[in-house]
Amino acid sequence: MNANVTSMIANLHEKPDEASELVDEILYGMTVQIMEDIDESWVRIQTAYRYEGYCKKDNLLVDEANTQIWLQEANHFISQSFADVLQQPQIQSTKMMTLVKGSIICSNAIEELDPEWAAVQLVSGEQGYVRRKWLQEKIPENSLPEQQLRENVVQTALSYLETPYRWGGKSPLGIDCSGLCSMAYMLNGVFIYRDANIVEGFPIKEISLEHIQKGDLLYFPGHIALYIGDNLYVHSSLGGNEVNINSLDKQHQQYRKDLAISITAVGSLF
């Protein structure tokens, strides 16, 4: 059985207990598969990128028919850090809900008469309005040329600069290291593994450090970063408390020796 996320952010826990570890966040409009019905409050789910955990039922709309329609028609995501969905196409209108970057929305019924506002449909079927410039079309899987994808992934990761570190986070409210790298790829049509490992069955393959290019991934013990060129990498650093840029170059002021000397692998989609 499939379901859609109906809250701004649905927490994915290690156990069916709100006090247990936050292992991931699922954003509005994302589709998940229900693997097990635990009790009246909890289900075990699997995400589209094959990550599993426990989620509260009140964050989900369980309707197989609706989910199948949503998968076909929800063809945009929120590209702004935060975006209000309003009842009317005017800034003074009542807010229906707030969505974060990466949330999925249906905007098939875009009203071309208004250059500023787009009509959107929520998972519930309700219609609202979002600023048109805050919507971006979903990118089909593996549809971009290599160099464009590399550049897009880097720019997407950089758009999260200074976002606070949040263990298990995956939004501009807070994001962790693998959340940053996986979102940078997901928003460009590629699902990579959600954690700081290279895992068989996912598209990232190990390469040598000497062949690293923009958009490739640097792996450290329990940590992951995205290479942006010129010996620089962007990452959500627990030590730095936010998304920032560091260098592999000893002469650079942003050099971090603890990471530079502990690279365990380099991964690439190509």
Catalytic residue among 55, 76, 181, 235: 235
The reply to whether 172 and 128 lie within a common domain is no
The strand pair at 217-220 and 52-56 is best described as unpaired
pLDDT of residue 240: 73
pLDDT of residue 238: 77
Instruction: Order the strands of the 104-105 sheet from edge to edge.
Output: 104-105, 76-78, 135-137
The reply to whether 87 and 60 lie within a common domain is no
pLDDT tens digits for the chain (270 residues)? 999 999 999 999 999 999 999 999 999 999 999 999 999 999 999 999 999 999 999 999 999 888 999 998 899 999 999 999 999 999 999 999 999 999 999 986 555 567 899 999 999 999 999 999 999 999 988 889 999 999 999 999 999 999 999 999 999 999 999 999 999 999 999 999 999 999 999 999 999 999 999 999 999 999 999 999 999 999 998 777 899 999 999 999 999 999 999 999 999 999
pLDDT of residue 115: 85
The reply to whether 112 and 164 lie within a common domain is no
The reply to whether 238 and 181 lie within a common domain is yes
pLDDT of residue 236: 97
pLDDT of residue 56: 98
The reply to whether 87 and 173 lie within a common domain is no
Confirm whether 177 is a catalytic residue.
yes
Sign of CA dihedral 141, 142, 148, 149: positive
The reply to whether 169 and 194 lie within a common domain is yes
Could you tell me the residue range of the domain that residue 35 belongs to? 2-72
Confirm whether 76 is a catalytic residue.
no
The reply to whether 16 and 60 lie within a common domain is yes
The reply to whether 102 and 183 lie within a common domain is no
The reply to whether 224 and 191 lie within a common domain is yes
Structure letter (DSSP) for residue 147: H
Catalytic residue among 55, 106, 177, 181: 177
Query: Would you state the structure tokens that stand for residue 261, as one six-digit string?
Result: 């000397």
The reply to whether 88 and 27 lie within a common domain is no
Confirm whether 235 is a catalytic residue.
yes
Distance separating alpha carbons of residues 80 and 39, to the nearest angstrom: 36
The C-alpha angle with vertex 160 and arms to 261 and 44, in degrees rounded to 5, equals 90
Total number of domains constituting the chain: 3
Q: Which long-range contacts (CB under 8 A, 24 or more apart) does 7-10 make?
A: 7/58, 7/59, 8/97, 8/98, 8/99, 8/100, 8/103, 9/100, 9/171, 9/173, 10/55, 10/56, 10/59, 10/60
